[in-house]
């Protein structure tokens, strides 16, 4: 499937959502997620290979670079479906690396990454809660998602006005487990053992980070919608005092508030994706991405917390699935920038009053 093969945007989105069935269990089972969590590497190589075979890793890349040339709207639709299933494979992070490698015309790491034969992660973050990559050569790189699964790591390094990439083969990282059963890695660069790639990613890196932030927002949208749906099913099925829980007005009001949060988040995410597909750049691009990420991060925490609470005592048990969505939201809410950071960036991107 390529962009040139699809003329109807709605059909393109439908096909992308349908393709998620190759990875997402149709019965909604989270058995695979439970099996992988808290272990290393925390991902399934065969699932990553399937993602590559489906073209997901290069979904946003032009066909001439090995991608399938679809837009950010299709990418967000896919991330949303993966969020519904809490898929642990770091597709957002892998797509970020693919975007950088394609920008410099790499022919060594990119083909295997796009095929799902390897996982290349980009170690760009030097401090907590940021969406900027200073590129200091010796600074530790933080919060590398699912680092133990990486076959290679890219290190953006500032050299004058340029930002160049150094590639290292699966360097050792300090692993820190996360609430959702995944992990982050902290990497201490050693450029003496890394290979310098030709090309400058100074212009494309901020755009790639924006897309990763928006992709994370879409994943959060998917997980909060699934947890909300589970909650509605529970309120309909569970009875108290001879009546379904969903018939109690207090719970109806809480559910209505969550439905509004979901609708506002969807509008923000889909609006931002459409703006990027229309060529938004500079402050306008930052504004729509930050609005979507702020909305998604805050709404995901609210919806998943309320979902656990409205399930009552069973919602707090690890054996019951609804709590897994809260755990994932706690980890992803701050990935590629917290709500506070994106709110501040949104305000900075607004034109000054005359």
Q: If DSSP codes are grouped into helix, strand and coil, which group holds residue 100?
A: helix
| C-alpha–C-alpha distance, residues 301 and 7, integer Å | 37
Structure tokens at 72: 């950010």
CATH class of 3-197: mainly alpha
Spatial CA neighbour of 51 closest among 26, 72, 75, 27: 75
Helix (H) or strand (E) holding 220: helix 204-237
Please report the beta strands in 91-140, taking only residues with DSSP state E, as ranges in sequence order: 120-122
CATH class of 204-349: mainly alpha
Phi, psi of 67 (to 5 degrees): -90, -170
pLDDT at residue number 352: 67
User: Side by side, which strands form the sheet with 195-197?
Assistant: 120-122, 152-159, 162-169, 195-197
pLDDT at residue number 354: 47
Cα-based torsion angle of the residue sequence 92, 98, 102, 107 in order, rounded to the nearest 10 degrees = -170
Beta-bridge partners for 239: 244
Residue 190, CA distances (Å) to 82, 154, 166, 265 in order? 34, 12, 10, 41
Task: Return the domain boundaries, the chain.
Answer: 3-197, 204-349
Count other C-beta atoms under 10 Å from residue 160's C-beta: 8
Structure tokens at 122: 């980009």
CA gyration radius, the chain: 20
Q: If DSSP codes are grouped into helix, strand and coil, which group holds residue 282?
A: helix
Beta-bridge partners for 145: 184
Q: What is the mean pLDDT of each run of 10 residues along the chain (354 residues)?
A: 60 92 94 97 98 97 95 98 98 98 97 98 97 96 97 98 96 93 96 96 98 98 98 90 83 95 98 98 97 98 97 94 98 98 95 63
| C-alpha–C-alpha distance, residues 203 and 212, integer Å | 15
Structure tokens at 211: 């897309």
**36 touches 42 (CB < 8 A):** yes
**pTM to 2 decimal places:** 0.96
pLDDT at residue number 4: 46
| C-alpha–C-alpha distance, residues 202 and 200, integer Å | 6
Spatial CA neighbour of 321 closest among 181, 191, 185, 128: 181
């Amino acid at each position: 499937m390529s962009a040139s093969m699809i003329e109807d945007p709605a059909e393109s989105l439908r096909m992308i959502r349908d393709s998620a069935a190759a990875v997402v269990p149709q019965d909604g089972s989270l058995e695979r997620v439970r099996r992988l969590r808290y272990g290393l590497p925390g991902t399934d190589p065969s699932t990553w290979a399937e993602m590559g075979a489906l073209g997901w890793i290069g979904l946003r890349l032009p066909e001439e670079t090995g991608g399938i040339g679809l837009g950010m709207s299709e990418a967000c639709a896919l991330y949303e479906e993966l969020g519904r299933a809490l898929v642990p494979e770091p597709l957002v992070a892998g797509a970020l690396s693919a975007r950088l490698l394609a920008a410099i015309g790499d022919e060594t790491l990119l083909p295997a990454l796009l095929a799902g034969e390897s996982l290349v992660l980009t170690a760009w973050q030097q401090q907590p809660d940021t969406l900027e990559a200073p590129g200091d050569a010796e600074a530790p790189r933080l919060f590398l998602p699912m680092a133990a699964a990486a076959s290679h790591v890219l290190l953006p390094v500032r050299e004058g006005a340029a930002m160049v990439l150094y590639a290292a083969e699966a360097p050792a990282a300090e692993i820190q487990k996360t609430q959702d059963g995944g992990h982050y890695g902290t990497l201490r660069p050693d450029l003496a053992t890394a290979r310098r790639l030709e090309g400058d990613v100074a212009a494309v890196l901020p755009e790639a980070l924006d897309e990763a932030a928006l992709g994370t927002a879409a994943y959060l949208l998917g997980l909060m919608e699934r947890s909300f749906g589970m909650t509605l099913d529970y309120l309909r099925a569970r009875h108290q005092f001879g009546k379904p829980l969903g018939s109690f007005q207090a719970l109806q009001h809480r559910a209505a508030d969550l439905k509004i949060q979901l609708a506002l988040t969807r509008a923000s995410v889909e609006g931002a994706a459409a703006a990027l597909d229309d060529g938004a750049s500079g402050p306008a691009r930052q504004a729509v991405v930050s609005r979507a990420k702020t909305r998604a991060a805050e709404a995901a925490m609210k919806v998943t917390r309320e979902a656990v609470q409205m399930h009552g005592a069973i919602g707090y048990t690890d054996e019951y699935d609804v709590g897994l969505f809260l755990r994932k939201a706690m980890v992803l809410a701050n990935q590629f920038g917290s709500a506070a950071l994106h709110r501040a960036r949104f305000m900075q991107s607004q034109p000054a009053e005359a």
